[in-house]
Structure 1
Amino acid sequence: MSQLYAALPARHARPALWSVVVGLFLLLSTFSHPVLGQNPAVLRGFVTDSLSGQRLPGVGIRLDGQPQGTASDAAGTFRLANLPAGTYTVRATALGYRSPATTVTLTAGSTQTLNLRLSAVALSLREVTVSQPRDPNQSVAAISHIDQALRPVNSAQDLLRLVPGLFIAQHAGGGKAEQIFLRGFDCDHGTDFAVSIDGLPVNMVSHAHGQGYADFHFVIPETVEQLRVYKGPYTARFGDFATAGAGEFTTKTSLDRSQIKVEVGRFDTRRALVMLDLLGHNKHHLLSKKPESAYVAAEYNFTNSYFDQKQHFQRFNGLAKYTGQLTDQTSLTLLGSHFTSNWDASGQIPERGVAEGLISRYGSIDPTEGGSTSRTNASAVLTTGLPHDAVLRQQAYYSKYDFSLYSNFTFFLQDPVNGDEIQQLDNRHLFGYTATYEQSTQLGSRSLHSTLGVGTRNDFSNLGLRHTVRREVLDTVTTGKLYERNLNAYLDETLPLTEQLTLNAAVRADVFTFDFRGQLYDTTSLSLQPLRGRVTKARVSPKLNLYYELTPQVQLFVRSGIGFHSNDARGVIRGTVGQNVLPRAIGYEVGSTFKPVPSLVVNAAVWALHLQDELVYIGDAGEVESTGPTRRFGLDASVRYQLTPSLFADLDLNFNHGRQVAAPKGANYIPLAPSFTSIGGLTLKRPSGLNASLRYRYIDDRPANDDGSITARGYFLLDAVVSYTKAWFQLGATVENLLNVEWNQAQFATETRLPTEPVGTSVDELHFTPGTPFYLKATFSVFF
C-alpha cells in the first residue's frame, strides 16, 4: 500500500484522463443551447433585509412540492425557470432570518417578479437546510453558520477557531500571526490554508517570516458577519495555499445599531471598541431613494500579558465601509481599513531552561524579542446585474503592509558571543483585481449555473533578514526586492443531472512569475553574493464533485480536486527546490450532511490528501526546506443539536493520519501534525437576558520531529463566557483556561545552546510558548 501512495504524486503529475473528462463537460455546457418546454413560466426576484433594505446573497429559494431550488446570487437576485403554469408557494431560507411563505400564480409563458423581505429571528436548527444549491462545495455551510450565530467571538483568533477542526497557537506575544493546524497539517502561518476577508487575500506570498503568512489581526471581530468554509482543494475559486482548505470572511454590510464596548482583564489588559452607523437605516426607500449604508469601527488593545517580561502589546484597528444600491441592477461597496501593532515577546523557551531553574515557565532566554507590523487596505466592489440573468462582480484592491520581527530560536548556537537574534523585514505593496461572471442557463428541464472568474495579484516587496543583538544590526543575511505576480482564471459549472443528483465540475489555471533581485550571505566567502533571477511556472487544477440529495434532510457528496501551494520566490530563484515550484495536492473525500431529527445537524466526511512536496520557507535561515511527498487521510465529524429553544450543544471530532512517503518507517512522521482534535460545548442563547457558553478544546500528543523521539504535548482546556443583554446595554465576563492548567501553545523540536552551556555543544529538545493561565475579562457595551 505504501508503494501505491508513493506513486500517486508522479502518477497524477499529468492527470490527462481527468482533464479530458472535465474539459468535455465544460465544452458541452459552454456550447449547449437552451431547450425550452412548452411555454414555461419564469419566477424571478430579489431578496432584501427588511431592516436595512440591502440585498442578501446566498439565501435559499424553494417551491413547496418541487425538488429543485436555487439561491440568491451576488446581487441578491434569483431565478427559477421552466416552471409549468400553476400556483406555487415560495419560501426563502437563511439561518437567523425568516420570510413569510409567498403564494404566486404563474400562467403559461409569463414572467413574474417577487421582492422577498427577510426579518432577523432567533436561531432555530429546524430551519437549517442541508443542501447548498448555489455553492454546493460549501458542504459545512450549515455547521459554520450555526457556529457563527452561537459561539462567542472576542478576538481575531476566535474568528479562525470558527472553522470546524481548526486549531491555532501563538508564540510571539500576540503580535505575530498564529500557527494554524487543520486536517493533519501544521500549516505554519498559512502555507496550506487560504484566508480572505471581503475578497482581500490575507496570506502573504514570499513573506519575510514564512510562506503564506496570514496575519488576521487587522480584522475587528465584531464587524464580521459571515464565514464560508471550504475544506480540501475542491473549489476552483481558490488557488494558492488552498490545500487543507480555505476560509472566506465577510464584514457586515450595515450595523443594526451603534455600539461602544469597554473590556478590562487580568495582566493589564484593556480594550475599547466603537462602531458607529453613519447613515441610519433607510427603511422606507422614499420615492427613488435606493438603500445605502455606511459605518465606521475602531478598536484599541493593550496588554502586558502573563509573561515575566512585560509585553507592552498594543494594537489599533480602524475600518470604514459603504454599501449602496446605485440602481436596481448595480451595487457598490467601498472599504478602507488601517491596522498597526507593536509588542515585546518572550519567544520560545527550552524545557531544560525551566527544569534547571534558569528561567520560570513564563520567562525568556532573550528578553529583546518582539516586533511591529501594520497594514492599510482599500477595496472597491461593483456588482452589476446583466441581461439574460447574469451577474458581473468586479473588485479592485490595494494593501500597504509593513513587518519587522525580532526573534531568537537557537539562542547562542551560531554566535556564542552575541547570540542568534535575527530581524525579519517586509515592506510590501499589494495590488489585485478579480472579476466573476455568473449565469444560469436552461438545458431542457435543468438549470446550468456557470461561473467564469479571472484575476491577478501583484506583490512588490523589500525583504530583509539581519543578524542582530538586542535589536541592533550586526550583519545582513539576505536583502532584496521581490516582484511576484499571479494570473489566474477558472470556469465552474454546476448542473443538476436528475432531481436528486448534482454535478459540479471546474478547472482552474494559474501562472506565477517569481522575480527577486538582491543579495544572499555566503558562508564560504563570508560576504553577500548576488541573488537575481526570474522564473515563470504554471499549474492547471481540475475539480470534479457529485452531490446527491437522498431526502430534503440528507445530502451525500463525493468530491475530488487538485490544488497547490507555491514556494517562496527566493527558493525558486536559488534553484534549491528543483522542479517543485508549485507542488500539487491531490484530494478526495466522501461524506454527508444530514438531519436525523429536525433539531440535529450532522456533517461527516472521510478524506485523503496527497501532497507532491511540502515546501516551507525557513525564514530564520533564509532557506527553503523540502519534506518531500506526504500523504494524509482522516475523518471529520461535526454535530450541532438544539436541546431547547435556547440551549444548544456542539461537538467536533477530527481524526488525522499523515506520513512522509519517501522517508523510512519510524522516521516518517510529519512533525507537529495533529492526529486527533476535538472542540465542543454548551451554549445558552437568547435574544435578551442571560446568555452563557461553556466550551472545551482538546488536542492530543503528537510527534515534534521525524522519528517521534520528541513529543509535542497535548492539552484539554475549558473556557466560559457569560453575558446579560438588554435593549441598550450588555454586561459580560470571559474566562479562559477555567481550570488553570499548564499547557503549551506553539511547540517545536529545536537544536539550541544556552549561554550557560559549553561552546560547541547543543541540545535538540522541545521548545514551547506557555499557554494562557487562568484569565478573567469583564466587558460592558452600550447600544444606541
Structure 2
Amino acid sequence: MQKLFTTLVGLLWLLSFGTIAQNFTLKGQIINQATQLPIEGAIVRTTPNGYAITNSLGEFSISKLTSAEVQVQVSHIGYQKYEAKVKTNQTLKIALPVAMVQLDEVEVHPENAHQQQTISSIDLQLRPINNSQEVLRSVPGLFIGQHAGGGKAEQIFLRGFDLDHGTDIRLTVDGMPVNMVSHAHGQGYADLHFVIPELIERVDFKKGPYYADKGNFTTAGWVDFRTRNVLDKNFVKVEAGQFNTYRAVGAFNLLGQKAKERNESMYVGGEYSYSDSYFDSPQHFRRVNAVTKYNRQFSSKSQLTLTASTFWSKWNHSGQIPDRAVDAGQISFYGAIDDTEGGETSRTNLNAQLVTQLGNGVLKNQLFYSNYNFLLFSNFTFFKEDPVNGDQIKQHENRNLWGGNTSYSLEHGNGASSNIGIDYRQDFVNNLELSRTVNRTFVSDSLKYGKVMEQNLGFYYDYTMRLSERLTANVGLRYDMFWNRYNNFLSDSSKYTLKANASILSPKFNLYYTPNNRLQLYLNTGKGFHSNDTRVVVATQGREILPAAYGSDLGVVWKPFSKLLLNMSAWYLWLDQEFVYVGDEAVVEPSGKTRRMGLDFSLRYQITDWLYADMDWNIAKPRALGVNELQAFLPLAPTRTSTGGLNVRTQNGWSGSLRYRYMADRPANDDNTIIAKGYFVNDMQVNYQYKAYNFGLSIQNLANVRWKETQFATESQLKNETEPVNEIHFTAGTPFFAKLSVGISF
C-alpha cells in the first residue's frame, strides 16, 4: 500500500512539474539595427523545443518552453545572425545589423513554408536593382521587352505566356495595384515606371495561382514590390551614357534625430531621366518621378505608413518595323516606317497603411487612390487600312481608381495560423478612346469612345497547419465579385448604360514536407483567374468573362551542401475559355482553352566569400486545346528561357556582375510557319564604394549582338505595296550601351 502511495505521489509530482514547465514563455520584437524598423519573417529558435516567425510588427511569442533559461537564435537573410542565452518569461528587443548574404546560413525550414521568399531575398541582396527594367527581371524566368521608346509598359513573358503588358500576372507596389483593368491599350496593362528603383527594399514573388490573398490576374504568378519605409542615409546619384542619356536621382530625410528617437521618419525622393535612345529617329524620352513617405511607430503594437507619389513621362518611338523593309535597305535595323508614333502618361498615387496588434493577431488596413492618364499613338499596319493617310491609331484614357485591403492574421500555436481578408477596388475610366489619326493631330475615324465603371470585391480565408513536425498544409478559399458598366458615347443611346455582373470561387491547397533543414518537397494546387475588359463583358452579356485557371506545381528546395541552393519544379496550368478585347483593333476575339506545362530550375551557388553564381532555366510547352495539333501553337509564348551570371561583392568596396539572358526561337503564329528569333545577350556592371562615394559602370549588350527585343507576326502594307504581307515585325534590341554613374550618401 505504501509503495502504491509513493508511486502516486511521484506521478503527481511529475505531472505538476510538467505543468509548471509548460508555463515558460518568451516574447519579443526583432528590428533592423540601422532603421529601427520591425523585421518581418525572421526565424526565432530556442534550445530546447521552441520556434516562431516574426509577424508584420517584428514580434514573436514562444510558449510551452520546458526551461527557465534557453539558447535563442535569430536569423534572416541579409542580417547578421543573433545567438544568446536568455531567461524566459520576459520580452526581448533584438536589433539585427545588416550583413552580406552567406549561403551556408540559409536554411530550408518548415516554419511558414507557404510564405517563404528564399530565392528573392538572396537575389535582391546580391543583385541590387539599378534601373527600371531590372525591377521585373529580378523574378526568375520572367522576361520583358520594350517596344515603345522606354515610356510604354514592358511586354512580359513568363511560364509559357506572352502576358502582353500584364494580363496574367498580378503586380503590386506596397500592396497597391499596378495592373489596369479595361485599359485603352490592353487588359491588365501594368506600368511600373512610377517606382524609383533605388528605393525598392524587397521583391516578393510566387508563380502560379496558389495564394488566397492574391486575386485578379494571378494565373502565371504575382510580384509585390516593397519600397523603403525609412531612409537610412540621404543619397544623390547622377548617370550619363551613350545616345544622349542622362539621369539624376536622390532621396533625403526630412525629419531630424529627435523624430527618429520617437520612431518617426519621413523622406522625399525624386528622379529625372532623358534619352534619345539608339534608334535613327531620336526618342526624346523624358521621365519625372517624385515620392514622399512618412512612417510612424506609435508603439511596438502599431505602425502607420503614408505614401504620396507622382510620375510623368513623354516620348517618341519607332514602333515595330517589318523584316522586308530592313532586308530591302528601305530602312536600317534601327529605323522606322512611321516615326510620328509616341505617347504621354502620368500617375499620381496616395497610399495609407496601418498595421496593428489586435489580440493574438495582426490587423492590416490599407486605403489607396490613383489618378492615371494615358495617351499613345501607334502604327502597326502602316497603309493597309488607309493607303493615303496611313494607319496610325490613338489610344487614350483618364482614370481614377481607389480601393482598400483589410486582413487579420492570427497565430494559433503549434505552427498553425490563419489569415482572413477583404479586398475592394473601383475604377472610373473616362474618355476611353480608340481613333484613327494622322500625325497625332487629325482624327480621321473614331472606332471606340466611352466610359467604364468597374468594381471588384473579394473575400478570402486561408489556414496553415502543422500536420506533423515535418509536414505543413495550407488550404485557402477566395470569392470575387465583379460589376461592370459601360457607356458608349458613339451610340445614339449614349445615355444608356450596358451592365453585366459575374463572380468566381477559387480554392487552394498546398503541402510542404521538410525532413531536415536542407530539403523541402512541396505540392501547390489552386484555381485562379483574370478578368476581361468591360467592353467584352457587356458585349457577351456577362457570359464566360472570368475564365478560370487551374494550376499545380510539384517541386523541391534542396541544399545538397552548405554553399549551394537548388529549386526545381514541374508545373501545369490549364486555362478555360475566354474572350479577349484587342485594344489596337476594337474587336473581341475568343481565344479558346489552353494548356501549359513545363519545368523551372533555379541555382544559387556561393563559390567563395565574395563570388556568387546564379542560374535560372525554364522550359514550357504551351498549346491551344480543341484545335488541330498543327495549328495549336500559342503565338509568341516562350518555350525555353534562361538567365544567370556571376556576382561579386568584396569587403574592400568592389561589387559587380556579369550576366546573360537567353530566349530560344518561338512560334509567332498558331501554325509555327513564322518564327520569332531567339537571342543571347550579356550585360555587365562594376561598382566601387569609397567612403561615402559610389562609382559605377554598366554596359548593356556587352558583345554588341544584333537582336530583336520584341517581335510580332503582323499583316501590314507599305506605301509602295499593292497587297498586305504577313511577316515578323520587330523592335530592335539595345546595341552596346555604356553608362557611368557617380553617387554620394550622407
Asked if the contact 1:229–1:248 (Cα under 8 Å) also holds between the matched residues in 2, the reply is yes
Identify the residue that residue 697 of structure 1 maps to in structure 2. 661
Matched, 1:47 2:27: no
- Say yes or no: does 1:774 pair with 2:736: yes
Q: How many Å apart are 1:440 and its aligned residue?
A: 1.0
- 8 Å Cα contact 1:259-1:275 kept in structure 2: yes
> Quick one: which of 98, 101, 113 aligns to 2:83?
101
Deviations 1:460-513 (A, max 9, x none): 011111110100222211111110000011001111110110010010110011
Instruction: State the one-letter code of the partner of 1:274.
Output: G
Matched, 1:496 2:460: no
Partner residue in 2 for 1:82 = 64
Match of 2:530 in 1: 565
**Distance between the aligned counterparts of 1:369 and 1:408, measured in 2?**
7
Partner Cα distance (1:128, 1:725) in 2 = 26
Partner SS state of residue 123, structure 2? helix
Listed as ranges, the matches of 1:218-229 within 5 Å are 218-229=194-205
How far residue 617 of structure 1 moved from its aligned partner, in angstroms, is: 2.4
Alpha-carbon distance between aligned partners in 2 of 1:328 and 1:595, rounded to the nearest angstrom: 36
Quick one: distance in 1 between partners of 2:290 and 2:249? 10
Alignment partner, residue 466 of structure 1: 435
1:762 has 2:724 as partner: yes
Superposed, 1:339-738 pairs within 5 Å as 339-387=311-359, 389-442=360-413, 446-462=414-430, 463-472=432-441, 473-519=443-489, 532-575=497-540, 579-738=543-702
SS in 1 for 2:82: coil
> How far, CA to CA, are the matches of 2:554 and 2:24 in structure 1?
37
Q: Is the 8 A contact 2:484 2:500 kept in 1?
A: yes
CA RMSD of superposed structures (Å) = 1.8
Label 1:132 to 1:419 Cα distance change in 2 as closer, same or farther (>3 A): farther
Structure 1 residue 307: Cα displacement: 0.5
Q: Does 1:251 pair with 2:227?
A: yes
SS at match of 1:98: coil
Q: Decide whether the 8 Å contact of 1:494 with 1:504 is kept in 2.
A: yes
- Name the SS of the counterpart of 1:706 in structure 2: coil
Residue 9 (structure 2) aligns with: none
Q: State whether residues 40 and 85 of structure 1, in contact with CA within 8 Å, keep that contact through their aligned partners in structure 2.
A: no
**Larger RCO: 1 or 2 (CA < 8 Å, sep 6+):** 1
Shift of 1:640: 0.4
Counterpart Cα distance in 1 of 2:343 and 2:83: 56
**Structure 1 equivalent of residue 168 of structure 2:** 192
CA distance, structure 1, for counterparts of residue 564 and residue 581 of structure 2: 43
Q: Secondary structure at the match of 1:97?
A: coil
- Contact 2:392-2:438 at 8 Å conserved across structures: yes
Deviation at 1:277, TM superposition (A): 2.0
Distance 1:329 1:710, change over 3 A: same
Checking the alignment, whether the CA contact within 8 Å between 2:21 and 2:67 is kept in structure 1 is no
2:210 is the alignment partner of 1:234: yes
Shift of the alpha carbon at 1:58?
A: 1.8
| Distance (Å, rounded) in 2 between the aligned partners of 1:584 and 1:202 | 21
Partners of 2:80 and 2:606 in 1: how far apart? 18
Corresponding residue SS for 1:69: strand
- Paired residue for 1:71? 53
Alignment pair present for 1:91 and 2:73: yes
Amino-acid identity (%): 45
Note the C-alpha offset of 1:284. 8.3
Q: Which residue of structure 1 aligns with residue 249 of structure 2?
A: 273
Report Cα offsets for 1:131-156 as digits up to 9, x if no partner: 3633x3345x2111111111242212
Distance in 1 (alpha carbons) for counterparts of 2:24 and 2:474: 26
Q: How far is the alpha carbon of 1:638 from its aligned partner?
A: 0.5
Mark the runs of 5 or more structure 1 residues left unpaired by the alignment: 1-35, 522-526
Query: 2:293 & 2:173 partners in 1: Cα distance?
Result: 13
1:610/1:630 contact within 8 Å kept: yes
**Distance between the aligned counterparts of 1:398 and 1:300, measured in 2?**
24
What amino acid is aligned across from residue 48 of structure 1 in structure 2? Answer: I
Q: Distance in 2 between matches of 1:413 and 1:93?
A: 62
Aligned to 1:22: none
Q: Is the 8 A contact 1:54 1:292 kept in 2?
A: no
Are the structure 2 counterparts of residues 138 and 168 from structure 1 closer, same or farther at C-alpha, using a change threshold of 3 Å?
A: farther
C-alpha distance in structure 1 between counterparts of 2:69 and 2:452, whole Å: 62
**What residue in structure 2 maps to residue 120 of structure 1?**
98
How big is the shift at 1:534? 1.1
- Residues 61 and 69 of structure 1 are in contact (CA less than 8 Å); yes or no, is this contact kept in structure 2? yes
CA distance in 1, matches of 2:246, 2:73: 46
Q: Distance in 2 between matches of 1:532 and 1:407?
A: 30
Instruction: Please give the alpha-carbon distance, in whole angstroms, between the structure 2 residues aligned to 1:260 and 1:667.
Output: 54
CA distance in 2, matches of 1:94, 1:635: 29
User: Deviations along 1:640-671, whole A, 9 cap, x unmatched?
Assistant: 01111110000100011110011111100011
Aligned to 2:3: none
TM-score for the superposition, normalised by structure 1: 0.90
- 1:749 pairs with 2:713: yes
- Out of 102, 123, 138, the position equivalent to 1:147 is 123
Deviates most, 645-654 or 144-153: 144-153
Give the counterpart letter for 2:524 in structure 1. Answer: R
What secondary structure, in the 3-state scheme, does the structure 1 residue paired with 2:114 have? coil
Task: Determine if contact 2:110/2:514 at 8 Å carries over to the other structure.
Answer: no
Alpha-carbon offset, residue 532 of structure 1: 3.7
Specify the alignment match of 1:293 in structure 2: 265
2:482 alignment partner AA? F
Alpha-carbon distance in 2 for matches of 1:132, 1:168: 33
Distance 2:71 2:470 in 1: 20
SS in 2 for 1:571: helix
Structure 1 match to 2:8? none
CA contact (8 A) 2:682 2:701 kept: yes
Contact 1:51 1:281 in 2 (8 A): no
Q: 2: distance between equivalents of 1:284 and 1:428? A: 38
| 2:151 corresponds to 1:175 | yes
Structure-1 separation of matches of 2:388 and 2:47: 77
- Kindly state the Cα deviation for residue 47 of structure 1 after the two structures are TM-superposed: 1.0
Q: Give, in angstroms, the shift of residue 98 of structure 1.
A: 1.5
State the 1:283 CA deviation: 10
Paired AA for residue 744 in structure 2? V
In 2, the alpha carbon distance for the partners of 1:475 and 1:160 equals 37
Aligned residues: 726
**Aligned AA (1:484):** E
Deviates more, 1:500-509 or 1:612-621: 612-621
Q: What CA distance in whole angstroms lies between the structure 2 residues aligned with 1:207 and 1:691?
A: 41
- For residue 183 of structure 1, report the CA deviation from its aligned partner: 0.6
Q: Hey, what's the Cα distance between the residues in 2 that align with 1:296 and 1:634?
A: 44
Specify the SS of the correspondent of 2:133. Answer: helix
Kept in 2, the 8 Å contact 1:239–1:563? The answer is: yes
Q: Distance in 2 between matches of 1:439 and 1:556?
A: 25
CA–CA separation in structure 2 for the residues paired with 1:37 and 1:766 = 76
Partner of 2:659, secondary structure, is: strand
